[in-house]
């Protein structure tokens, strides 16, 4: 029934476009998973294969896959893909405020461009406008502008997400981390835990101009363990000289350790440490000097 509706809309747009003498494009905003779409009655791949849509806007209050998944799907059928960056609904106020900052949205936008997407959609962004967020509207459209600006990158920007008014359970369709204070990870002594984090920056872009990246990794815990008992690796490189700040342990990360796209952060508690550590958040801050 939904596919038939979209076919009829497409037919109407073709007729009206002929009358106007110019095409009328059809954009749809759908979850970023073929399987989840099917469960809720949307055969998005059929819409794409039949040429029914021109722009596919993906995700929203859910993100089930990395953006590359949707970019590959849309481009397979010649359809432009615009990831949707919606307001954050994580309940923890500190985590929510940090993710709602312009620096975090810059990181989100940079990951969008890094995925090969055709554009960025900011949904309901007007609800939270101030001077700093207005400024983002003149930044997010161009990765060349974004590349020299401060950014935050999170292992999970949205957590498990939530649909206004409810929706079909989506957790089983998630293929990305959901780490945030509402969905923490326990690390047991002697156990190694690895969490991926997407970083869209090429952190060495400005070396020739003597513009260098200052990179810090933030680990937030429910109860901060002894920093000497925590061994952290960034893409296999051991991080040294941690410092504590409130409920966080902070590490400096060398630019040589960071790659554009997927990075792996591994944690291990000393075998003699007799407590479980509860990791509630993980993010990277990049500043250019």
pLDDT per residue over 225-238, tens digit each? 888 889 999 999 99
Q: Is the pLDDT of residue 134 over 90?
A: no
Tokens 């959609």 appear where? 121
Domain with CATH 2.60.120.1200 in the chain: 185-288
Q: Is the pLDDT of residue 19 over 80?
A: yes
Region(s) of the chain under CATH 3.40.50? 2-151
C-alpha–C-alpha distance, residues 19 and 13, integer Å: 10
Of 279, 284, 230, nearest in space to 259 by CA: 284
Pull the structure tokens for residue 102: 């312009």
> For the domain bounded by 185-288, which CATH number is listed?
2.60.120.1200
- pTM for the whole structure: 0.94
Q: How far is CA 97 from CA 4, 7, 139, 191, in A?
A: 42, 42, 20, 31
Class of the CATH domain delimited by 2-151: alpha beta
The predicted-structure confidence for 274-287, as pLDDT tens digits, reads as follows 889 999 999 999 99
Task: Please say if the pLDDT value at position 99 is more than 90.
Answer: yes
> Counting Cβ atoms within 10 Å, is residue 24 exposed (0-12), middle (13-18) or buried (19+)?
middle
Reported as a single tens digit per residue, the pLDDT across 62-96 is 999 999 999 999 999 999 999 999 888 899 999 99
219, pLDDT greater than 90? yes
Position 273 scores a pLDDT of 85
The predicted pLDDT at position 121 comes to: 94
Q: How far, in Å, CA of 104 to CA of 224, rounded?
A: 24
| Average model confidence (pLDDT) across the chain | 94
Going from the C-alpha of 20 to that of each of 13, 15, 17, the distances in angstroms are 10, 9, 5
| Rounded Cα distance, 77 and 55, in Å | 11
Q: How far apart are the first and last CA of the chain?
A: 56
- Assign 128 a pLDDT band (cuts: 50, 70, 90): low
Q: What is the mean pLDDT of residues 164-179?
A: 91
Cα distances (angstroms) measured from residue 59 to each of 9, 82, 228: 22, 9, 40
């Amino acid at each position: 029934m939904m596919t038939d509706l979209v076919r009829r809309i497409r037919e109407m747009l073709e007729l009206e476009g002929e009358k106007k003498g110019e095409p009328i494009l059809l954009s749809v905003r759908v979850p970023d998973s073929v399987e989840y779409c099917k469960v809720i009655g949307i055969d998005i791949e059929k819409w794409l294969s039949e040429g029914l849509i021109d722009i596919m806007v993906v995700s929203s209050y859910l993100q089930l896959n990395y953006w590359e998944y949707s970019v590959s799907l849309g481009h397979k059928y010649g359809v432009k893909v615009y990831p949707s960056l919606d307001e954050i609904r994580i309940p923890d106020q500190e985590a929510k405020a940090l993710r709602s900052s312009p620096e975090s949205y810059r990181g989100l936008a940079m990951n969008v461009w890094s995925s090969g997407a055709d554009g960025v959609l900011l949904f309901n962004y007007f609800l939270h406008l101030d001077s700093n967020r207005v400024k983002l509207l003149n930044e997010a459209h161009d990765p060349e502008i974004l590349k020299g600006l401060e950014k935050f990158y999170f292992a999970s920007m949205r957590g498990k997400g939530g649909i206004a008014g409810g929706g079909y359970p989506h957790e089983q369709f998630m293929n990305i981390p959901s780490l945030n204070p509402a969905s923490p990870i326990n690390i047991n002594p002697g156990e190694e835990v690895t969490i991926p984090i997407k970083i869209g920056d090429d952190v060495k872009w400005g070396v020739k101009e003597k513009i260098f990246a200052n990179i810090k990794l933030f680990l937030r815990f429910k109860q901060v363990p002894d920093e000497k008992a925590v061994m952290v690796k960034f893409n296999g490189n051991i991080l040294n000289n941690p410092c504590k700040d409130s409920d966080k342990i902070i590490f400096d990360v060398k630019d040589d350790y960071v790659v554009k796209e997927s990075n792996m952060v591994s944690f291990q508690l000393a075998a003699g440490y007799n407590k479980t550590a509860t990791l509630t958040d993980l993010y990277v801050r990049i500043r250019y000097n």
